[in-house]
Structure formats: structure tokens, C-alpha cells
Chains A and B, each alone.
Chain A
Amino acid sequence: MDETPASLRWIGLALLALLLALPSLATLAGDPAWVSLATRMLIYALAAVSLDIILGYGGLACFGHAAFYGIGGYTVAILYRHWQTSEPLFGVIPGSTQFLVVIPAAMLAGGVLAAAIGALSLRTAGVQFLMITLAFAQMLFFLFSSLSQYGGNDGMTVRRRNEFPGLDLRDDTVFYYLVLAILLAALFVAHRLVGSRFGRVLGGIRQNERRMAAIGVQSYRYKLAAFVIAGMGGALAGALMVNQARFVSPDMLFWTKSGEMMIMVILGGAGTLIGPVIGAITLTGLEDLLGRIPGWGEHKLFAIGLLLVLVVLFGRGGLYGWLRRRLR
């Protein structure tokens, strides 16, 4: 089941080459907007991969991934705001715009939040779990909508990207390559993770929790650890997105965002690492493309819904699963 057809490897390498060459291609095509679109695709890919750790590998239908994504985004914005006003957060935490400070802080916030949400919600399963994770994310949505010092409903602008020693992140191309590097690193880490003892236990929990108990495994601990890891990944993606868009708003926390991420995972292929990347690129690309057709703004979601139905009905294992079968 781990065999990857050789032709698929070549497609993967070609895709990587395309991603590496993309800024130059955009320049050649005279359309620099490609770079920011591609950056968003890669950031969503990161969010989708992290969600897939619990959704696809752990078999936990989490409908609240936006909570972690949003908290990561707000960490960037809040630290920026306190850096700007020179007033420490809670009177003790100084603001910052340093990438190497802000990003770990965002991941820490995501991990802590995931530990709290997971500790409560992982005692349930199935639809109940789905509803509880959704409820927690919505609670955060309303909380941040009411925080007027951070823009409330309207969100707030983050005037500058974080600073990275030796890199000029204001340059979209530099930022794009940084995001690409982070995604590749995250994929490598996730690859090791799912092939490790921990990953094996997680897959066992997905398949049969009763069996895991019968060999002496307390599933709850492992699910919680997976949840924290996914939360950190989601927060990382959110933090990068706020850097990309230079804007944060409660929309990042809204339940439709969780839904979009779930769609990316399922569309691309849950329980694989490449699937969510394909799903994120496809969905983000499609939304952008359909958004360009005049008068299609309304029907955009209809088209995407139709695609999802087709993939779920006919493409066992999502787009990636379909590709694998075609190329075998």
C-alpha cells in the first residue's frame, strides 16, 4: 500500500520543479499576482496537511481546524500590535515582529489551544466530536469578533510582514520561497511522523480502537498528542497567512474555513501527505479561477460542491487516490 508508481514520482518532481520556477514564470508571463496566489496555495496546503494528521491518519473528524489556523494568525497580529504600541501584552509579553519569535509563539499558542480543546473533546467520538470541535472554534470566532482592540468584526491590518534575519520578506518572491521551504520541511517531518511508532499507533487507533485497548494502548493520550501536533501545524499556517495577506480577521476562525480545510483534505486524498497538498492547490486555484469569470461569484461554491461530490463518489482516496490508480 506504500508503493508509489514511478510515473507518479516523476509527476511529483515535475510539480516541485514547477513550484521552484514559479516566480520566474510569473515574471515571464508578466503576472506577478501568480506568486501571491501560489503562496496562498502552499499555506493552505500546510493547513490541510496538519488537519490530515488527525482527520486522515487518526480518523478523527475534526470540524474546528480554523481555531488553530485563526489563533496562529491572531498571534502574529497581536504581537505586531503590541510591538507597534510598545505596550506589553497582559503587561508582560512584549510585542514582536521577528519571524523567529512570532512563528514559534504562534505554534505554541496553537499547541496549547489544541491541548485544551483536545483534552475535552477527545473524550467523545464521531458526530459528537465533530460538533464539539466546531463549537470550540465558533466560540473563538465570537470571542475575537468582540475584541475591539484587535479590530473586532472588521479585523485589523498588519502593516508589515515579520522580519527574518538576512531575508527581505517584504519581497513576495522571497516570502514565497520561505513558505515553500517551510511546507517541504513540514512534509518531511510529517512523513517521519506517520512512519514512526507514534504514527503506527495513530493508524491503529483509526482502524480499531478496541484492538488498541486489547494490546494495552491508551488511545486517548496518542489522540491528544496528534491533536496538539495538528494544532501547531494549523497555527503555523495561519501565522504565515497573516504575513502573506498583512491582514487578520475573525473570518479565519469561521466554521466555513474549517469546512474548506476538510474539503481540501478529502478532495485531495485523506490519509496521505500529498493528497492534502493537491487538494489545497486545486481548491484554492479553482476558487481563484471561478472568481475571475464575470457573474460566477455566486455559482463558485456550486461548482466546487459538484466537484467534491464527484470526487467522493467516484474517486476513492480523492484526487491523489485517483491519480495513483490511473498510473499504476
Chain B
Amino acid sequence: MATPLLRAIDLVKSFGGLRATDHLSLDVTEGEVHALIGPNGAGKTTAVGQLIGEIRPDAGQIEFAGEDISRLPPPTRVRRGLARSFQISQLLQDYTALDNVALAVQAREGHSFRFWGAVRRDARLRRAAMAHLEETGLAALADQRTADLSHGQQKQLELAIALATKPRLMLLDEPMAGLGPTETQAMTALLRALKGRIAMLLIEHDMETVFALADRVTVLVSGRSIACGPPAAIRDDAAVRQAYLGDGDA
């Protein structure tokens, strides 16, 4: 196996008496789709928070591309190529879809201490942003105000913005949450198209998606990884079946 792109080593995080992350280690290799599944309250979102830098672990280390990033703030991690999409959309609701993506392109290009030129007339910036909207199937909605987009479209826009940061790895926090069957299919197809090009850590409830996309699956229960392996193996793992798949949630 190649050197992992992202490596979490022995992460521990407690909130009061609750141990939300319990000696969690996992890694994502270049180009891999690694799914993180687990029942509600298993600590998936807390784990993502630590990987992106919003939550500081009590113990453990996080490495990205061979470097220790444990102490870096989220924006710095993003600029190193670690993008994320949010479970509950965090979009700039007053801006258009295109503006949301253009801002990410602008941020990727370096500092924004440019006080004079009109950003709306920056054709190159708009073209680059448009390319990401086309990639995610939102081109027709470029000039729609984000607040007017449907839930599914907002989820797609989340992905377009993440792509615009030119990531090497994307942390996708439930990209299918709240999507209808057709939208879920479209999103799955979209992620499949990106597979291999960009590594992904996929936090997902939808088992069909997980088994369709993932190269490896880690099962999280009570903050601990109880199993990690290819989807087929996970499906047959007795412990997993008992802890998770067997309880009808799947």
C-alpha cells in the first residue's frame, strides 16, 4: 500500500465524561475512497472535526502528506489540500452559486488583499468557477441566489466549492443526507467520476452508496474503530453486523 495521504494516529477526544473519540486511528491513501460509517452518536462528526481542525483532540496526531498538521488551524489545512463539505450546508446564502464557487477559487489563488478591481468582471475567475459548476451539474443555476436553490442543489454546490479549493483529499460529511433517490443517484455518479482523482473520506449513512463507492470501510462504534476493511469483508463481519448493520438501520 502506498504511503497514506491522511493519517490519524490514536486520536482521543472526550466531552465531559463522554469519550467521543476513543483511540481512533485511520488512514486514507492517495486516490482512495474510504468510508467512515457507524450508528448515530458513534462520533463520526467529532472525528471529522478533529481532522479538519475545528476540534482539538485531547491526544493523538494527524498527518497529511507526511507532515504533522495536528496544530494547524482549519484554513491552513484547507490550503494544503484538505477540503471538506458540510453535513448541514454552510453556504453564502446571499451570493449566487457562481459567486460561492468563485470565492473558493479566489481563496485558492492566494490572499484577497486586492481592494480595487471589480471581482464580477474578472472573467478568468468566473470561468474557473463555472468549470466546477459544470462538473457538478449546476451550470444552469450559476446566477441563482444560493438561498433559492433546493436542498439537493445546495449539496451539489457544497461539493463544487470543495472541488474549487483543488483538494487532494475531501472530507465529505454525509453528502447524501436529505437527498431523494434520484438526487442520491446523481451524487453517487458524481463522486464515482471523481474517484481516483481525489481521495475521499466519506461519512455516510446510506449503505448502498458506501458499498458502491468505497475502497475501504471503517466502522465506528462509541468512538472506536471496530473494523476496517474492504466493503465485502465489512458486510460479512460478525461484530459489525451485530453492532450496526443488524439493527435495521441499514
Enumerate chain A interface residues (CB-CB to B < 8 A): 1, 192-193, 195-201, 203-204, 207-208, 210-218, 222, 225
By a CB distance below 8 angstroms, the chain B residues around A199 are 115, 119
Decide if A217 touches B107 in the complex (CB within 8 Å): yes
Decide if A200 touches B106 in the complex (CB within 8 Å): yes
Q: How many CB-defined contacts (below 8 Å) exist between A and B?
A: 98
**16 additional A-B residue pairs with CB within 8 Å, beyond A197-B106, A197-B112:** A193-B115, A198-B115, A200-B99, A200-B102, A201-B107, A203-B94, A212-B107, A213-B74, A213-B75, A214-B161, A215-B104, A216-B75, A216-B79, A216-B165, A217-B75, A217-B112
Number of interface residues of B (CB under 8 A): 39
Decide if B119 touches A208 in the complex (CB within 8 Å): no
A195 and B165 CA atoms in complex are apart in Å by: 22
By a CB distance below 8 angstroms, the chain B residues around A197 are 106, 112, 114, 117, 119, 122
Decide if A192 touches B75 in the complex (CB within 8 Å): no
By a CB distance below 8 angstroms, the chain B residues around A196 are 114-119
A-B contact pairs, 27 of them (CB 8 A): A193-B115, A195-B119, A195-B120, A196-B119, A197-B106, A197-B114, A199-B115, A201-B103, A204-B95, A207-B92, A207-B93, A208-B90, A208-B91, A208-B92, A208-B93, A211-B91, A213-B74, A214-B90, A215-B78, A215-B104, A216-B75, A216-B76, A216-B78, A216-B79, A216-B107, A217-B75, A218-B76
By a CB distance below 8 angstroms, the chain A residues around B92 are 203-204, 207-208, 211
Decide if A210 touches B117 in the complex (CB within 8 Å): no
- Distance to closest chain B CB from A230 (angstroms): 13
- Distance to closest chain B CB from A324 (angstroms): 15
Residue on A nearest B145 in the bound complex, by CB: A1
Q: Is B178 close to A, CB under 8 A? A: no
A222 and B116 CA atoms in complex are apart in Å by: 15
Known contacts A192-B118, A215-B107, A218-B73: A198-B95 contact under CB 8 Å: no
Decide if B106 touches A214 in the complex (CB within 8 Å): no
Decide if B119 touches A214 in the complex (CB within 8 Å): no
A287 and B103 CA atoms in complex are apart in Å by: 42
Residue on B nearest A229 in the bound complex, by CB: B115
- Distance to closest chain A CB from B181 (angstroms): 28
Decide if B119 touches A211 in the complex (CB within 8 Å): no
Enumerate chain B interface residues (CB-CB to A < 8 A): 52, 54, 73-76, 78-79, 83-84, 86, 90-95, 99, 102-104, 106-108, 112-120, 122, 145, 161-162, 164-165
- Distance to closest chain B CB from A192 (angstroms): 5
A225 and B79 CA atoms in complex are apart in Å by: 21
Main secondary structure of the interface of A (DSSP, over half): helix
By a CB distance below 8 angstroms, the chain A residues around B112 are 197-198, 200-201, 217, 222
The 7 closest A-B pairs by CB, nearest first: A216-B78, A215-B104, A216-B79, A197-B114, A207-B92, A197-B112, A213-B74
By a CB distance below 8 angstroms, the chain A residues around B116 are 192-193, 196
A9 and B43 CA atoms in complex are apart in Å by: 55
- Distance to closest chain B CB from A239 (angstroms): 22
By a CB distance below 8 angstroms, the chain B residues around A217 are 75, 107, 112
Residue on B nearest A198 in the bound complex, by CB: B115
Residue on A nearest B104 in the bound complex, by CB: A215
By a CB distance below 8 angstroms, the chain B residues around A216 are 75-76, 78-79, 104, 107-108, 165
A171 and B116 CA atoms in complex are apart in Å by: 35
Residue on B nearest A225 in the bound complex, by CB: B113
Contact of A214 among B76, B86, B93, B115 (CB under 8 A): B86
Contact of A200 among B78, B103, B113 (CB under 8 A): B103
By a CB distance below 8 angstroms, the chain B residues around A203 are 92, 94-95
Residue on A nearest B125 in the bound complex, by CB: A197
By a CB distance below 8 angstroms, the chain A residues around B102 are 200
Interface-centre pick from B73, B76, B90, B120 (highest chain A CB count, 10 A): B90
A196 and B116 CA atoms in complex are apart in Å by: 5
By a CB distance below 8 angstroms, the chain B residues around A195 are 118-120
A211 and B78 CA atoms in complex are apart in Å by: 11
Decide if B78 touches A213 in the complex (CB within 8 Å): yes
By a CB distance below 8 angstroms, the chain A residues around B117 are 196-197
A216 and B120 CA atoms in complex are apart in Å by: 21
A217 and B115 CA atoms in complex are apart in Å by: 16
A216 and B113 CA atoms in complex are apart in Å by: 14
By a CB distance below 8 angstroms, the chain A residues around B162 are 214
Residue on B nearest A219 in the bound complex, by CB: B75
By a CB distance below 8 angstroms, the chain B residues around A204 are 92, 95, 103
- Distance to closest chain A CB from B64 (angstroms): 14
Decide if A215 touches B161 in the complex (CB within 8 Å): yes
By a CB distance below 8 angstroms, the chain A residues around B52 are 214
By a CB distance below 8 angstroms, the chain A residues around B93 are 207-208
By a CB distance below 8 angstroms, the chain B residues around A212 are 75, 107
Contact of A198 among B79, B113, B165 (CB under 8 A): B113
By a CB distance below 8 angstroms, the chain B residues around A201 are 103, 106-107, 112
